Amino acid sequence: MAKKPRSQRRKKGDKVESSQINGASGDIEELSLSHSIVTAGSETLGSFSSEDSWGGDNNDFDEADDGAMRSSEERERKLQDAFVMADEFCSEKRSTRRESSLRQWYTALTHYTSGSYETVENKLSDIIRGCQFSIRSGSPSEQYAACRVLETVAVLLADEEYFEQTYRSLLLRVVQSKHRAIPVRIAALRAIGMTCYIGVDDDVIVQEVIDLCEAVAQSEYRGEKVAPALRAAALTVWNVLATTLHEFYIAGSDDASTGRGLLLLPILVECLEQQEDLGLQSAAGECAVWIHSARLQLGVEDGEGVNTTERRYRLGSWEGSEWEDTMAEIEQLMESLSNQSGHYLSKKKKKETRTIFRDLLSTIQENEPPLEVIQFHGGTVELSSWKDVIPMDFIRRCLQGGLQIQLMTNPTLQAIFGINSQVLNASNIGMSQQEKRLLFSKASETAKEKDHHRTRKRQNRTNAKNSFLINDD
């Protein structure tokens, strides 16, 4: 038997973490579940510090504005350089070269696009064509990179036309394909979710994608067992799209229909019991939290002893419903995970599990809303609703190091999260590095005061709930 070429040999000791058999050719597509499009050499937001309007110790307004203009021009130049050969992408025969170009495109889209999308719009057809070519004929790592590029483009320019261009004939087939590597299918599913969330305003299309997520989240899909990581991605996308629907379609019920979240509860119980996969457990926990939050927003249902005021202003509950026992089981599982212990888990994983589920459990048990603070160079943005926190985590994972610059310049993201870009950018002008460090760092007096204020509010709420213990009379 002839030896394999050196390029096809697997190095001794390499471990295959995720593989699927290609039924057509018999080849094995391998890609680690920890694979990422971001490499050690990728530029991050910090690489712009010498040119951005928030860099330097200059307090002069004119010079600060000039620095911002130079920064914008420099980004635009780098963006154009990244896509200068996009029309010749498909003619490159080497997969490694194409993957390198896709990584450059990803960096350019996340870091160099700052409010002006003319260059990306002009090259959009070449970008889509190149990603289609890579997904259909490239290596697993190249396919993954192409899916991530399509996901990032969705944050910038997604609309229903872009969704139709990428969904049915490309990304949907990748998700459904059994021979694709699991990380590639996950990236394709997340790209579908991002395109639908940002660019689609048609409930019929949204419901269609949610149907896909519910099918993939099952233990079996199209006759094969679904990997836990793929199920977790399906639940994550389901959760993001569910935040765009009315709460009744998630947690309500009547004689004609039952909320999609209520029908999903048994699957969430099964996923929370999967002790070997924290990602699947946390995705299921976040889905349960959003379904619970939607139930609260519906208020109390009509019934005896419920007047108009109570029905309008009182929070809804699971008490007396047919899903009360299921939610009680979910709460019990999450409480067990929030106090995770056992010698079979590493200390790091136990700590991570407890942290995740204690935050989620506070909403399930105490109806306490989340609080996520996003630090900017010009200040902070606070998110206090799961309807904002869930999409923000999804978009953060997509943009990674480019999150801040996109939130400060992308009008679509600003509209979604209610961010005033003028306030954020104006606070950068005329401040030295030392002043920014004293005012905006996590160790600043302002940050400490906010933390103390939130602690006092939490203690007051707890004391109010426990007041019956000391007021026996």
Q: Mean of the per-residue pLDDT values for the chain? A: 81
Q: Residue 310's pLDDT is what? A: 52
Q: What does the alpha-carbon distance between residue 473 and residue 471 come to, in Å, rounded to a whole number? A: 5
Q: Residue 301's pLDDT is what? A: 54
Q: What is the pLDDT of residues 182-195, one digit of tens each?
A: 999 999 999 999 99
Q: What is the pLDDT of residues 458-471, one digit of tens each?
A: 888 888 877 766 66
Q: What is the pLDDT of residues 118-135, one digit of tens each?
A: 999 999 999 999 999 999
Q: Residue 443's pLDDT is what? A: 74
Which residue has 């047919």 as its token pair?
Answer: 322
Encode 359-397 in three state secondary structure.
Answer: HHHHHHHHCCCCCEEEEECCEEEEECCHHHHHHHHHHHH
| Least confident span in 203-212, 278-287, 412-421 | 412-421
Which residue has 């629907």 as its token pair?
Answer: 245
Mean pLDDT, to the nearest integer, of 415-430?
69
Q: Residue 65's pLDDT is what? A: 38
Q: What is the pLDDT of residues 213-232, one digit of tens each?
A: 999 999 999 999 999 999 99
- Which residues are within 8 A (CB) of 308 and not within 5 positions of it... i.e. 6 or more apart? none
Q: Residue 54's pLDDT is what? A: 21
- Which H or E run includes 158? none
Residue 438 has pLDDT above 70, yes or no: no
102-to-83, 95, 128, 247, 326 alpha-carbon distances in Å: 10, 11, 11, 39, 45
Q: What does the alpha-carbon distance between residue 374 and residue 414 come to, in Å, rounded to a whole number? A: 13
Please give the single-letter amino acid code of residue 206: V
Q: Residue 298's pLDDT is what? A: 86
Please give the single-letter amino acid code of residue 122: N
Q: Say whether pTM exceeds 0.85.
A: no
Which residue has 């079996």 as its token pair?
Answer: 220
Q: Residue 21's pLDDT is what? A: 32
Cβ atoms 169, 192 nearer than 8 A? no
Q: Residue 17's pLDDT is what? A: 41
More confident site: 28 or 244: 244
Residue 67 has pLDDT above 70, yes or no: no
Residue 139 has pLDDT above 90, yes or no: yes
Among residues 55, 154, 120, 158, which one has the least CA distance to residue 432?
A: 55
Residue 440 has pLDDT above 80, yes or no: no
Among 13-27, 309-323, 454-468, top mean pLDDT goes to 454-468
Q: What is the pLDDT of residues 78-87, one digit of tens each?
A: 999 999 999 9
Mean pLDDT, to the nearest integer, of 431-452?
69
Percentage with pLDDT > 90 across the chain: 49
Q: What is the pLDDT of residues 147-156, one digit of tens each?
A: 999 999 999 9
- Which residues are within 8 A (CB) of 190 and not within 5 positions of it... i.e. 6 or more apart? 147, 151, 233, 236, 237, 394, 397, 398
Residue 343 has pLDDT above 70, yes or no: no
Cβ atoms 59, 430 nearer than 8 A? yes
Report the greatest alpha carbon distance in the chain: 90
| DSSP symbols for 197-219 | HHH---HHHHHHHHHHHHHHTSS
Query: At what angle are helices 324-338 and 260-272 packed, to 10 degrees?
Result: 40
Question: What is the number of residues in the chain?
Answer: 473
Cβ atoms 354, 339 nearer than 8 A? yes
Residue 212 has pLDDT above 50, yes or no: yes
Q: Residue 432's pLDDT is what? A: 60
Cβ atoms 228, 272 nearer than 8 A? no
Q: For residue 444, name the pLDDT band (cuts at 50, 70, 90).
A: confident
More confident site: 287 or 380: 287
| Number of other residues whose CB lies within 10 A of the CB of residue 360 | 22
451-to-371, 376, 456 alpha-carbon distances in Å: 11, 17, 9
